[in-house]
Amino acid sequence: MRPSFCLCGGHHRGVRLSHRRDRIQVGASAGAQGTGDRRLGKSVLTTSSVGLGTLQWGDEKCGFNSQYRANDLELAFKEAVEGGITFFDTAEVYGYQQHKYLQSSECLLGDFAKATGADVTIGSKVFTIPWTNFLVGGSPRLGREALVEALKASVDRVGRPLDLWSIHFPFPTFKQSVLMDALKEAMDLELTRAVGVSNYNGQQLEEAYLLCEKSGIPLASNQIKFSLLDRKAEKEGLLKTAEDMDVAIVAYSPLEGGKLTANGVSKDPNNNKLQELLKLMEFVGVCNGGKSIAQVALNYIVQKGCIPIPAAKTAQQAKEHAGAMGWALDENDMAVLDEKLEYLGL
């Protein structure tokens, strides 16, 4: 059954189309030593070296309104900004069942940013599956116009133009040229300040990059899965391809669902290789001033040139994630970790 969501008309959120495109993105801790702000590819965006993912925000299947509530997420947002995190990732389908209650991920993120006055980078993504309209409303995803329509709905929910709008993943029903045309129109309409892609392999990324270059717009980022336990992107040369094109890599699932944290052993108690890796990460953290396993995992990704976006539902989690900035694993630390991963076959 199709949900009877009313996204743009009935729940207008006061979009400000005068949102300045030349604004540099910095957070509450901007200027603090070691925050590690970096430019997002060749775009106009400058953001923190560690971001925050909001996949679970508004999603009741993940515990929203039972294990945690909007107030908890707002505290997490405030703690993240206070710690120097300025990049927040969302998507139109994150917590989509709460769109009608204005408590989906996009809605919450927009509300928190407005309420606190925080000058943050908000990135969202558009689904390319034709029948996505049965989830979030709107028309079937059958062409460029439908994608731009979906963007306008995202802008409405966030309450202002986006900073980064990305294709969530390539899908066979869309030619790359159509997807990139949608990105260009988004920039032309000033509905976003930068554009990117997600889940693109090397070949797809090169094609997207060339199409965007031909249209005169920079491709800012490619959001992919990357962590200490999943280095496929590095092994297959995707990180190098992105670096050569100056496309930022945004890494989701950087903590592998909690496996790369102090509680990692409980996530996979029979995994001896994981336990051995976690012991080494704990030692590396101690040698770097008492950093946690999670902070080591995130900083490892930063040193690989990527922007990790770990999830956070509590202020404590957000504070720990922010603590992955302001310091750096040195070449010896990185070599030790890489050698251990090779030795364990991970």
The dihedral over CA atoms of 2, 132, 188, 246, expressed in degrees to the nearest 10, equals: 160
| CB neighbourhood size of 218 (10 A) | 20
In one letter, which amino acid is 302? V
Q: Find residue 123's DSSP bridge partners.
A: 89, 164
The dihedral over CA atoms of 119, 320, 238, 257, expressed in degrees to the nearest 10, equals: -120
Question: Burial level of 234, CB count in 10 A (0-12/13-18/19+)?
Answer: middle
Residue 330 Cα distances to 249, 285, 307, 309, 326, angstroms: 21, 12, 17, 21, 13
User: Element (H or E) spanning 221, and its range?
Assistant: strand 219-225
Cα–Cα nearest to 76, from 328, 326, 310: 310
Question: Burial level of 24, CB count in 10 A (0-12/13-18/19+)?
Answer: middle
96 is an active site residue:
no
Can you read off the two tokens belonging to residue 178? 């159509």
Residue 249 Cα distances to 33, 70, 196, 220, 300, angstroms: 23, 29, 10, 9, 14
Active-site position among 94, 200, 252, 300:
94
Q: Find residue 230's DSSP bridge partners.
A: 227
DSSP label at 192? B
Please state, in angstroms and rounded to a whole number, the distance separating the CA atoms of residues 174 and 212. Answer: 16
Please state, in angstroms and rounded to a whole number, the distance separating the CA atoms of residues 64 and 105. Answer: 11
Q: Spell out the residues 6+ positions from residue 96 whose beta carbon is closer than 8 angstroms to its own.
A: 58, 104, 135, 136
**Which residues are annotated as catalytic?**
94
